[in-house]
Amino acid sequence: MGSKNKLRRFKENETFTNVIQPSREEIVEESFPLKGKWRKDFFKNEQPIVLELGCGKGEYCLGLAEMFPEKNFLGIDIKGARFWRGAKTALEDGIKNVGFLRTQIELIDRLFEKNEIDEIWITFPDPQIKYKRTKHRLTNTEFLQKYKFILKEDGIVNLKTDSEFMHGYTLGLLHGEGHEILHANHDVYKNEFSPKEVVGIQTFYENQYLEQNKRITYIKFKVK
């Protein structure tokens, strides 16, 4: 994507009512006005809130929002030029239960209050295979504790990935730390018990993975 196109999308994002872009000052000083008030002030309802971390173009978030109109969905990514497409589509199609938040995932515990979130989706994250990149894996111990803080007591985390490494790493960590695994599947499209929200939504990149005969894996768990 050219720099002019990126700048145009950044500028357009500023006009979108479904896009939130906190300033660094708001985050550092913990003065972000929506913290603890996402339902009331952003979604303007009392429906459950579901986050998608690393939402990319927002395809999965939009799919979930249409599948579950009784829930609110918020896609999170630092790359605003990517989720521009999802935000624009949501506005054009009148999908009101979805929004987008531009921030680093490491900062989510500063942007949401304790127990404010009902569910988290992590879809096709970078597995960060090299050992020195462990701290960036979205299911490492530090991230899990951030999720535990913002999730309700019975809150759920979903991991959908094409990376066997990420799947195995996460399963091992969950078992080792005593978290509750609700569902684990090594090939969602060959398992009749795969949830509809796992097999009923496919992103552009997921379709590419499937064309390459990559298996799509899934884990559903609670952080203890």
Active-site residues, by number, are: 126
Q: For residue 106, which amino acid is it?
A: E
Residue 68 φ then ψ, to 5°: -130, 75
Tell me the three-class secondary structure of 140-206, residue by residue: CHHHHHHHHHHEEEEEEEEEEECCHHHHHHHHHHHHHHCCEEEEEECCHHHCCCCCHHHHCCCCHHH
Q: For residue 224, which amino acid is it?
A: K
Sheet holding 217-222, edge to edge: 19-20, 98-102, 72-77, 49-53, 117-123, 151-161, 217-222, 180-185
**β-pair partners for 156:** 119
Q: For residue 109, which amino acid is it?
A: D
C-alpha–C-alpha distance, residues 125 and 74, integer Å: 16
Give Cα 198 distance to the centre of its chain.
14
